[in-house]
Amino acid sequence: MIIRLVSAALVAGFLAAVVATGLQLTLTSPLILAAERYEGQAALDAPGLASLIVPVHADAGAHHGEGAVWAPGAGLPRMAFTALATLVGAVGYAFLLGAALLACGREPSPETGLRFAVAGFLAVALAPAIGLPPELPGMGAAPLAERQFWWVMTAAATAMGLYLIAIRRVPIAILGGLVLIVAPHLAGAPGVDHASGTLPAGYAASFAARSLAVSFVFWAAIGLAFGWSWQSFGRSRTVAARA
């Protein structure tokens, strides 16, 4: 069982990562690069700021890179690290999806995998995006720790709420599930000073829409691929046993 779970999760994660990486490089990466260029140009155009930028970076280099933040180089290195990060996340989510299917007593298949994957998308991507939409460089944002806490709280509460509504299916459980889903949004996401951002609103809206679309395809690919892989490995073991 464990070997079958690991094998199916690895295959599903790899296939979903391939699909998602292609979509990211096509749909969202160009917006990120454009936002970075816009942010840099806005900083240079700010009165009195351009004269401060070069000395600060020069001083950082003189002190052997103290305080410098590493980032992959433009072009192929950045694409490679994007693909690697997507692969690691995809395999992790595939493990969680498989564990949830088995814990709920559902036999993994493409159909059940897709249903649970949609629930994963709702919990991990859509529900948190209501309060904290995907962000581009140059957008105003609350402190990272506050955003991470609210994201985890919202994802966990939404996942539990969906479980109570879709799996338990009794009136009190459905009511509790609705409360869990709504509670993080009633509490409110960390406040963001949108006026502090330098990016045009159209960039942010387009990035949020594309990111959610890519995330949905990503989760759907995980669910379908996991169900298919699980059944394929099961048939392979059956044929091997008969032989």
Q: What is the pLDDT of residue 76?
A: 81
Q: What is the pLDDT of residue 192?
A: 62
Q: Which residues of the chain have pLDDT under 70?
A: 39-72, 138, 140, 192-198, 236-243
Q: What is the pLDDT of residue 60?
A: 37
Could you count the other beta carbons within 10 Å of the beta carbon of residue 121? Answer: 21
Q: What is the pLDDT of residue 71?
A: 65
Q: What is the pLDDT of residue 237?
A: 62
Secondary structure of the chain as H, E, C letters: CHHHHHHHHHHHHHHHHHHHHHHHHHHHHHHHHHHHHHHHHHHHHCCCCHHHHHHHHHHHHHCCCCCCCCCCCCCHHHHHHHHHHHHHHHHHHHHHHHHHHHHCCCCCCHHHHHHHHHHHHHHHHHHHHHHCCCCCCCCCCCCHHHHHHHHHHHHHHHHHHHHHHHHHCCHHHHHHHHHHHHHHHHHCCCCCCHHHCCCCHHHHHHHHHHHHHHHHHHHHHHHHHHHHHHHHHHHHHHHHHHC
Domain coordinates in residue numbering, the chain: 2-141+192-242
Q: What is the pLDDT of residue 240?
A: 55
73 is written with which tokens?
A: 């180089």
Cα separation of 142 and 193, whole Å?
Answer: 8
CB 211 within 8 A of CB 82: no
Q: What is the pLDDT of residue 53?
A: 30
Q: What is the pLDDT of residue 61?
A: 40
Cα separation of 21 and 10, whole Å?
Answer: 16
Could you tell me which residues come within 8 angstroms of residue 14 by beta carbon, excluding any fewer than 6 positions away?
A: 87, 90, 91
Q: What is the pLDDT of residue 85?
A: 93
CB 124 within 8 A of CB 212: no
Q: What is the pLDDT of residue 75?
A: 72
Q: What is the pLDDT of residue 84?
A: 94
Cα separation of 157 and 122, whole Å?
Answer: 11
Q: What is the pLDDT of residue 64?
A: 43
- The Cα angle at residue 87 between residues 235 and 224, in degrees rounded to 5: 40
Q: What is the pLDDT of residue 19?
A: 96
Q: What is the pLDDT of residue 43?
A: 46
Cα separation of 205 and 189, whole Å?
Answer: 18
pLDDT by residue (tens digit) across 61-81? Answer: 444 444 445 666 777 888 888
Q: What is the pLDDT of residue 163?
A: 96
